[in-house]
Amino acid sequence: MVGLAKSGFAAARLARAKGAQVLVVDRRAETELGQLPQKLRESGVEVRSGGHPARLAEAADLLVISPGVPADTELLRAARVRGVPLWGEVELAARFCRGRIIGITGSNGKSTVTTMAGQILRGAGIPGGTGGNLDTPFCDLLAEDGADAVHAVELSSFQLETVDALQPDVAVIVNLSPDHLDRYGSYDDYARAKARLLEVQQPAGAAVLNSDDRDSARFHEAVRGRLHTFSTNREVEPGAFLRDDCLTLRTEYGEETLLRVDELPLPGEHNVANALAAALACRLAGCAPRAIVRGLRGYRSLPHRLESIAEVAGVRFYNDSKATNSASMLRALAAFAPGTVHLILGGQDKGTDWQSLAREIGRRAKRVLLVGNAAPAIHLALAGVTVTKDCRTVRQAVRTAFAGATPGDVVLLSPGCASFDQYRNFEERGEDFRNTVQALGLEESSDA
């Protein structure tokens, strides 16, 4: 096992439980790995910290690599020369999975679609797990496995690079937009990694694509299963669409009306699209319409994904820290009335062309509060288009936004950037936002 993060830990435990001799290596010092090494050693797994020596390829029958491990490390190059198989944690889990799989990927919204699908499935009484790239690794989902199980599995492009045995019964690509170009040589390379989800599918499987997303058209040639689409703009067949503001399915089961758009608990047209994708995937997996409606009505947003935090003095605060690319940020911004949003933007830039986004940001945002390393580049792009303020930190941005807001306005953290310049991850950034808003609310209450 190469890399002792959450997925590496889960893969090591599964491999050991299946009788393999397991060695885990990680570049970090053992003091940075917490309790994970000790827990693995107690189950008979050997753990070595401080590097990925290339000589390990000489004795390995298989390398299972964590998604964050660069593909060009010396150990992985040596393994390729020797012909040692390179799997990811998802590929390992797929080799032992007995249930059916709804595999979900995309640039934005895949976590929401995955958890929507999981809630629908479990509410329908169908066993299985919900996770993958989201929280619980696929290997750990096998605790809920069985012949009747249906697993809702979020899959990143990194994870899809190493799949082969994974054969999803339903394969969903929510959308496609530029992301992770610091890892991939080009946008085409990134798209090819996503397309792998469709290429490993069997003809009996169902593929679900976004008919409204222009860039998703490139996936059609990769489809091996039965193609279905979803659209918020027009009727599609077979697939899912809106008719008279109602979510509607048209599949092998016939045409079925589910619920009205205003019954969905999440704001934004992008969440209508997410609901259509989840509903269609679950119907193709055998869920009854009644269970789909119940699951969608009862769904609540995930933390850090356009999450409603509080209303303070008539100003609403939303945490969308998961928006780590510009496309996701624009979708969140479009969920609110133009001219009402104080947008907290910035962080660690991914090479985004902010100039091309300036007009749309200026049209929708009332003011932009800049944070992190990307602030100077964003300020230059937005100069003369909208009001900007360099706040450096999320905490300062929250307070500056609130000071300039009026009742009915929205303060939206949707950074469009990675978090690693100031935080360990987007979750920590979102929690900083939440804590600051809550402290602000307490101060306002005490002043009243």
Spacing of C-alpha 223 from chain mean position? 22
- Is 437 among the domain residues? yes
What secondary structure does DSSP assign to 197-218, as a single string?
A: HHHT--TTSEEEEETT-GGGGG
User: pLDDT at position 70, please?
Assistant: 82
Task: Taking residues 19-31, report their average pLDDT.
Answer: 95
Instruction: Tell me, yes or no, whether 182 and 246 share the same domain.
Output: yes
Contact 147, 99 (CB under 8 A): yes
For 61-81, write each residue's pLDDT tens digit: 999 999 888 878 999 999 999
- Is 327 among the domain residues? yes
Among 297, 332, 359, residue at a domain's last position: 297
Instruction: Tell me, yes or no, whether 293 and 316 share the same domain.
Output: no
Instruction: Tell me, yes or no, whether 328 and 390 share the same domain.
Output: yes
Range of the domain at 78: 6-84
Q: Where residue 329 sits, what CATH number does that domain have?
A: 3.90.190.20
| Integer Cα distance of 12 and 321 in angstroms | 31
Instruction: Tell me, yes or no, whether 97 and 132 share the same domain.
Output: yes
User: pLDDT at position 69, please?
Assistant: 87
Instruction: Tell me, yes or no, whether 117 and 251 share the same domain.
Output: yes
Instruction: Tell me the angle at which helices 89-96 and 6-17 cross, rounded to the nearest 10 degrees.
Output: 30
High-pLDDT (> 70) share of the chain, %: 100
Among 244, 268, 297, residue at a domain's last position: 297
- Give pTM, 2 decimals: 0.87
User: pLDDT at position 130, please?
Assistant: 97
Catalytic residues: 110, 133, 180
For 93-131, write each residue's pLDDT tens digit: 999 999 999 999 999 999 999 999 999 999 999 999 999
- Is 1 among the domain residues? no
Instruction: Tell me, yes or no, whether 147 and 265 share the same domain.
Output: yes
- Is 381 among the domain residues? yes
pLDDT level of residue 222 (50, 70, 90 thresholds): very high
Among 23, 55, 84, residue at a domain's last position: 84
- Is 112 among the domain residues? yes
Judged on CB neighbours under 10 Å (0-12, 13-18, 19+), 192 is middle
Instruction: Tell me, yes or no, whether 43 and 121 share the same domain.
Output: no
User: pLDDT at position 300, please?
Assistant: 86
User: pLDDT at position 270, please?
Assistant: 92
- Is 146 among the domain residues? yes
Mean pLDDT over all residues of the chain?
Answer: 95
Q: Residue 259 pLDDT more than 60?
A: yes
- Is 302 among the domain residues? no
For tokens 């360990």, the residue is 424
Task: Taking residues 140-145, report their average pLDDT.
Answer: 97
Instruction: Tell me, yes or no, whether 335 and 415 share the same domain.
Output: yes
The contacts of residue 185 (CB under 8 Å, 6+ apart) are: none
User: pLDDT at position 267, please?
Assistant: 85
For 356-401, write each residue's pLDDT tens digit: 999 999 999 999 999 999 999 999 999 999 999 999 999 999 999 9
User: pLDDT at position 304, please?
Assistant: 93
Q: Residue 185 pLDDT more than 90?
A: no
Instruction: Tell me, yes or no, whether 21 and 108 share the same domain.
Output: no
For 279-312, write each residue's pLDDT tens digit: 999 999 999 999 999 999 999 878 898 999 999 9
Q: Where residue 223 sits, what CATH number does that domain have?
A: 3.40.1190.10
pLDDT level of residue 438 (50, 70, 90 thresholds): very high
Instruction: Tell me, yes or no, whether 287 and 243 share the same domain.
Output: yes
Instruction: Tell me, yes or no, whether 133 and 36 share the same domain.
Output: no
For 318-350, write each residue's pLDDT tens digit: 999 999 999 899 999 999 999 999 999 999 998
- Is 328 among the domain residues? yes
Q: Residue 184 pLDDT more than 70?
A: yes
> How many domains, the chain?
3
Task: Taking residues 11-26, report their average pLDDT.
Answer: 97
Q: Residue 446 pLDDT more than 80?
A: no
Number of alpha helices (DSSP H) and beta strands (DSSP E) in the chain: 15, 19
pLDDT level of residue 208 (50, 70, 90 thresholds): very high
pLDDT level of residue 448 (50, 70, 90 thresholds): low
Q: Which amino acid is present at 104?
A: I
Q: Where residue 73 sits, what CATH number does that domain have?
A: 3.40.50.720
High-pLDDT (> 90) share of the chain, %: 92
Instruction: Tell me, yes or no, whether 21 and 160 share the same domain.
Output: no
| Integer Cα distance of 135 and 180 in angstroms | 20
Instruction: Provide φ and ψ at 160, rounded to 5°.
Output: -75, -15
| Integer Cα distance of 416 and 320 in angstroms | 9
Give the HSE-up count for residue 405: Cα atoms under 13 Å, Cβ half-sphere.
Answer: 27
Q: Residue 181 pLDDT more than 80?
A: no
Classify 29 as helix, strand or coil.
coil
